[in-house]
A and B are shown apart, each in its own frame.
Chain A
Amino acid sequence: MTEVFFASAIGVFTACGVWLMLRARTFDVALGLALFSYAVNLFIFAMGRLTFGAPAIVGQGGATATLADPLPQALVLTAIVIAFAMTALVLTLALKGRFVNRGDACDADDETRIEDSPR
């Protein structure tokens, strides 16, 4: 049952993230990327299966067999930090592009699809 909830959450985050990614404004794309990265982090985490109330901390007695799988957690940590770095970069590009290219549109072809295209 828990698995259903967990997986469905991943699904919702992915769907929302992807939809936002496909917008025509850099900031919205950044929002989408953030949501998508949540989904991916949860997914990586899920690959180690779910464990309740047994953090991967050894040496306090108790069988290590039932502890959570530490490896995916380490991977997620790395992924989170890298995602942060990249988000910062995208936002900076949005900021600078907004003033250099007069607008934070990221879709050269489809300017027309914007009604009130702000500067």
Chain B
Amino acid sequence: MLLIGLVLLPFLASIACAAMPNTARSATAWLSGLTALGGCVLLALAAPGVFSGEIFRISMPWFANVNFGFRMDGLAWAFALIICAIGALVVLYAHYYLSPDDPAARFFAFLMAFMGAMLGVVLADNLILLVVFWEMTSVSSFLLIGYWTHRSDARQGARMALTVTAMGGLCLLGGVILLGQITGSYSLDIVLGAGEAVHASPLYPVVLVLVLLGAFTKSAQFPFHFWLPHAMAAPTPVSAYLHSATMVKCGVFLLARLYPTLGGSDLWFYMVSGTGLFTMTFGAAVAIFQQDLKGLLAYSTISHLGLITFLFGLDSPLAVVAGLFHILNHATFKASLFMAAGIIDHETGSRDMRQLNGLWQFMPITATLAMVASASMAGVVLMNGFLSKEMFFAQAVELDSHHLIEMIVPIVATVAAALGVTYSLRLIHDVFFNGQPVGLTKTPHEPPRWLRVPVEVLVVVCIVVGVIPQWTVGPVLAAMVQGTLGMRPEYSLAIWHGVNFPLVMSVIAGTAGILFYFGLQRYINLHSVTRLPVSGKHAFDAVVGWVETLARKVVGWLPSTSLPRNLACLVATAFVAMAWPLWQNGFGSAPPRAATDVLTVPPLVGLLIWLLGVAAAIAVTINYRQRLTALVMLGAAGLAVSVTFVLFSAPDLALTQLLVEVATIALMMIVLHFLPQTSPVERGTARKLRDAGIAGVAGLGLAAVAYAVLTRPFTSIAPFYLAHALPDGGGTNVVNLILVDFRAFDTMGEVAVLGAAGLLVYALLAGFHVHFDHHDADIAEDWNPLLLRTVTRVVLPLAALVAAFLFLRGHNLPGGGFIAGLVLACAILVLRIGGGGRTILDPAHLPYQPWIAGGLVMVLATGIGSMVLGYPFLTSTFAHPVLPVIGEVPLASAALFDLGVFMIVVAATMLATISPALLPQDHDAETQA
């Protein structure tokens, strides 16, 4: 419960702050501060338990094998304490730091969200949850760095930080899931105990690399360090809190947390310690040459994180102790230094050390505080920094490994320490002494009381811990060690261990650092160093830029807005999809169809139809630019198709095809009236050839498949329909039976589509005015006679023929709704094209929509009727069923169904054809002006 509260409180505070107006500065600050202090109180309550080695737990299932739970041991407790305590100080500091026109509510909302996420990271009881909060810290850090949204460096820094840390987070996620698969669980209790299994697994190296990528990106280890200096665009409270004390510690926290599981292998040693050692030295060296105060502190943070990383890499419990201790110390002195830097920035309006000189005389108190903190950073005796640095030296000396390494490491360590002394010295000397300030916008003075209090508190901690470590930090450290290692190795926090290697190294480092600084000042003026030789930012920008250009190239190269190219893609893919398996398996050697099935067609008839169709199709293709001609040819092709249907015993098909043909051609003619009569000539033989190629293979492919199917034996469900049509369907025309009974559901959907199409055409053209301007010379001025000639010649006899054929067939079924409807529609269409009935046919006067609706209702009603009678939807009851209660009723549901179909077909066809035909049009040229 305590744990839930600990994590949830900040989030609640965050929501509350977000809800408040930005003017409620003190309210939000108070709320946030109290939240942080509340956290401290909760932790204090838990302290006795934690010190006695108890582990607090609470957990509930979340999804799959991932729990939503928290777990607090010594390590988590100490981190939580840092987060809450420094959090409280930062809130206080920020309240006085932010200028009145900064949106305070947003700041504190983000800050509290971060605090909650950070507590979640350290308290999570399983690795997935840890990643969850881990990524949340990245996001909140993004939002906080970009807090001053008007500054482009803030926006860029925020994006860079998010990109790098999010990448690390994703790698961590991958590693964690693999870890879970090895150990069978994500729960820390299990994972921490599964060290052997993990080391034994073949996946161990992968897991290690992925997890370390997560840790190193977050803790700004080389080569991922570069985002941290750019994160300094954030308001100083953020830098002090996220980017020195807490968030950047996530990485080293993870190293400590997973040390029992992943640590203790050579791979671990080389990767972690190597990276740490290099980062430590590199960061310290670069820090010296910074001109931006916060930049110096950023690189020094990188360096110290490197130190901690190095210690965790060594396979010795005492090194872990040293690392944990340094985490505590660094959090205190670095946070105080950042706050001091912020004060200087706040009171002088500059962070540039080329301008900031001799501030001692203006702000002695701040200066003193800063000097103490820097001394601790440099590792001066009687400061907390000294103790952990001595431990670090000791570990560097006692390291047992390859003798070459044993020789190099202590030297590198000393060098790094010396560089640390150098930049600490520069910070003090350059800012507070070394002449007079240069070109400051305002005269510096001490800050308001409360802006300095947090610094004072932290500095006091530095000293007290430095002087009497055993009684202050002792138990905390002990708890941390216990939580991390599960045991407590022998170590002493005494200040004086007598003259030993570490002490000697400290002395060397100190003197060397001092000499180096003044040497530098003498021989090269540090202020003259403008830009650094190495810059991670450039590399980062290069990579990002490269990816973006690649993306643009790829996307630009692929077709997105070109319909022809998309269609080509589609047809080609379809061809490959069919050709590939046929290439693999072949068409197979099927036995020929039984002799009875092989059909005998009068050769001459067949040949003629074939010639008609093929010739017409080719004619359309060749003459497509002469659109009217092409249209007539298309009609001929359609005619051939329908005759083919007649020939191969599909009369209904033939009729429908013929009628739809008429309607389509007529519609095309109507539309063509509004379009150019010819298509433009196309350039580019290559493209035509390509299209011809695609078309050719498509045709060949489909023909081959059709032939293959036509010539092989066949067993299908068809006999069922032939057998049951009469006895159970009450009809003889089986095709019609299938439409209105066996598969009436298809027909229902089909008429719905047809009706919708009619409505859509109407909706598209409703209230649409056509303006012909002088450019449209190619449009026939008066088109009716033309269409009258062409269409009526085709349509009238056809309509008559169809009616006659229908009549002659006279099957006993409730007629083909489609066919009847189409006949009627075509007849009206002809009437319209003949020039008559403009007004009566106008959808505005003649409501077609209700016809469609009514037809649909009727179709559905038949279905519902059968449901009422207790049968499934659309059960056809053709006969005179004897029903309970009602008795015998004459009922032909299929007839009603077909009536509905009929209505929809007529109305939809009319809407689709008449709407364009009746478009209001005017031929004035002015409309274009």
Quick one: CB contact mask for A68-103 with B, threshold 8 Å, 1 for yes? 111101101110111111111101111110110000
Q: A77-B656, A118-B778 are in contact. Are A9 and B610 (CB under 8 A)?
A: yes
CB distance from A95 to the nearest CB of B (A): 5
* Interface pairs (13), CB distance under 8 Å: A13-B617, A22-B564, A23-B564, A27-B672, A58-B722, A64-B719, A66-B596, A70-B738, A77-B735, A78-B747, A82-B753, A95-B675, A99-B771
CB distance from A87 to the nearest CB of B (A): 6
Contact: B620 with A6, CB < 8 Å?
no
Q: For chain A residues 16-36, which have a beta carbon within 8 Å of chain B?
A: 16-25, 27-31, 34-35
Given the complex of chains A and B, what is the CA–CA distance between A99 and B765 in angstroms?
Answer: 12
Contact: A98 with B775, CB < 8 Å?
no
Contact: A59 with B649, CB < 8 Å?
no
Given the complex of chains A and B, what is the CA–CA distance between A85 and B618 in angstroms?
Answer: 25
**B314: chain A residues within 8 A (beta carbon):** none
Does chain A have a CB within 8 A of B679? yes
Given the complex of chains A and B, what is the CA–CA distance between A88 and B911 in angstroms?
Answer: 10
Q: A71-B721, A74-B739 are in contact. Are A94 and B695 (CB under 8 A)?
A: no
CB distance from B755 to the nearest CB of A (A): 9
Given the complex of chains A and B, what is the CA–CA distance between A89 and B775 in angstroms?
Answer: 26
CB distance from B450 to the nearest CB of A (A): 63
Q: A5-B606, A47-B709, A55-B650 are in contact. Are A14 and B703 (CB under 8 A)?
A: yes
Q: A74-B743, A81-B750 are in contact. Are A28 and B649 (CB under 8 A)?
A: no
Contact: B664 with A84, CB < 8 Å?
yes
Interface size, B (range): 35 or more
Does chain A have a CB within 8 A of B559? yes
Given the complex of chains A and B, what is the CA–CA distance between A54 and B634 in angstroms?
Answer: 29
Given the complex of chains A and B, what is the CA–CA distance between A74 and B830 in angstroms?
Answer: 28
Contact: A27 with B757, CB < 8 Å?
no
Quick one: CB contact mask for B609-642 with A, threshold 8 Å, 1 for yes? 0100110011011001001001100100110010
Q: A14-B703, A38-B637, A71-B738 are in contact. Are A22 and B671 (CB under 8 A)?
A: no
CB distance from A14 to the nearest CB of B (A): 4
Given the complex of chains A and B, what is the CA–CA distance between A13 and B292 in angstroms?
Answer: 75
**A48: chain B residues within 8 A (beta carbon):** 714, 716, 718
Chain B residues in contact with chain A, CB under 8 A?
559, 561-565, 567-568, 571, 593, 596-597, 599-601, 603, 606-607, 610, 613-614, 617-618, 620-621, 624, 627, 630-631, 634, 637-638, 641, 644-645, 647-653, 656-657, 660, 663-664, 667-668, 671-672, 674-676, 678-684, 687, 691-692, 694-696, 698-700, 702-704, 706-707, 709-711, 714, 716-719, 721-723, 725-726, 732-735, 737-739, 743, 746-747, 750-751, 753-754, 756-758, 760-761, 764-765, 768, 770-771, 775-776, 778, 811, 818, 905, 908, 912-913, 915-916, 919
Whose C-beta in chain A lies nearest to the C-beta of B660? A84
Contact of B811 among A57, A99, A115 (CB under 8 A): A57
Q: A35-B634, A80-B657 are in contact. Are A23 and B679 (CB under 8 A)?
A: yes
Whose C-beta in chain B lies nearest to the C-beta of A22? B691
Contact of A65 among B672, B694, B719, B761 (CB under 8 A): B719
Contact: A14 with B702, CB < 8 Å?
yes
Q: A50-B648, A71-B718, A77-B656 are in contact. Are A92 and B750 (CB under 8 A)?
A: no
Contact: A119 with B764, CB < 8 Å?
no
Given the complex of chains A and B, what is the CA–CA distance between A68 and B679 in angstroms?
Answer: 42
Contact: A2 with B599, CB < 8 Å?
yes
CB distance from A28 to the nearest CB of B (A): 5
CB distance from B358 to the nearest CB of A (A): 66
CB distance from B684 to the nearest CB of A (A): 5
Q: A42-B644, A52-B648, A106-B563 are in contact. Are A81 and B656 (CB under 8 A)?
A: yes
Given the complex of chains A and B, what is the CA–CA distance between A16 and B607 in angstroms?
Answer: 20
**B656: chain A residues within 8 A (beta carbon):** 77, 80-81
Given the complex of chains A and B, what is the CA–CA distance between A10 and B650 in angstroms?
Answer: 17
Contact: A20 with B624, CB < 8 Å?
yes
Q: A6-B706, A45-B650, A77-B818 are in contact. Are A98 and B621 (CB under 8 A)?
A: no
Contact: A35 with B637, CB < 8 Å?
yes
Chain A residues in contact with chain B, CB under 8 A?
1-25, 27-31, 34-35, 38-39, 41-43, 45-60, 64-71, 73-74, 76-78, 80-89, 91-96, 98-99, 104, 106-110, 113-119
Whose C-beta in chain A lies nearest to the C-beta of B648? A50
**B634: chain A residues within 8 A (beta carbon):** 31, 34-35
**A83: chain B residues within 8 A (beta carbon):** 660
Contact of A5 among B610, B624, B735 (CB under 8 A): B610
* Extra pairs beyond A31-B634, A67-B722 (9, CB < 8 Å): A5-B610, A10-B703, A16-B617, A18-B691, A25-B680, A46-B710, A56-B734, A68-B648, A85-B756
**A5: chain B residues within 8 A (beta carbon):** 606-607, 610
**A73: chain B residues within 8 A (beta carbon):** 650, 652-653, 735
Contact: A18 with B571, CB < 8 Å?
yes
Given the complex of chains A and B, what is the CA–CA distance between A9 and B38 in angstroms?
Answer: 84
Whose C-beta in chain B lies nearest to the C-beta of A90? B671
Whose C-beta in chain A lies nearest to the C-beta of B641? A38
**A2: chain B residues within 8 A (beta carbon):** 599, 601, 606
Contact of A46 among B617, B692, B709, B753 (CB under 8 A): B709
Residue of A10, A14, A81, A116 contacting most chain B CB atoms (<10 Å):
A81
CB distance from A83 to the nearest CB of B (A): 8
Whose C-beta in chain B lies nearest to the C-beta of A64? B722
CB distance from A108 to the nearest CB of B (A): 4
Contact: B710 with A6, CB < 8 Å?
yes
**B725: chain A residues within 8 A (beta carbon):** 58-59
**A89: chain B residues within 8 A (beta carbon):** 757, 760-761
Contact: B754 with A82, CB < 8 Å?
yes
**A49: chain B residues within 8 A (beta carbon):** 593, 597, 709-710, 714
User: What are the 10 tightest A-B residue pairs by CB atom distance, in nearest-first order?
Assistant: A11-B703, A15-B699, A85-B757, A7-B707, A19-B695, A109-B562, A88-B912, A74-B738, A18-B695, A52-B599
Whose C-beta in chain B lies nearest to the C-beta of A27? B675
Contact: B726 with A59, CB < 8 Å?
yes
Contact: A116 with B735, CB < 8 Å?
no
Given the complex of chains A and B, what is the CA–CA distance between A57 and B703 in angstroms?
Answer: 29
Contact of A77 among B631, B637, B652, B734 (CB under 8 A): B652
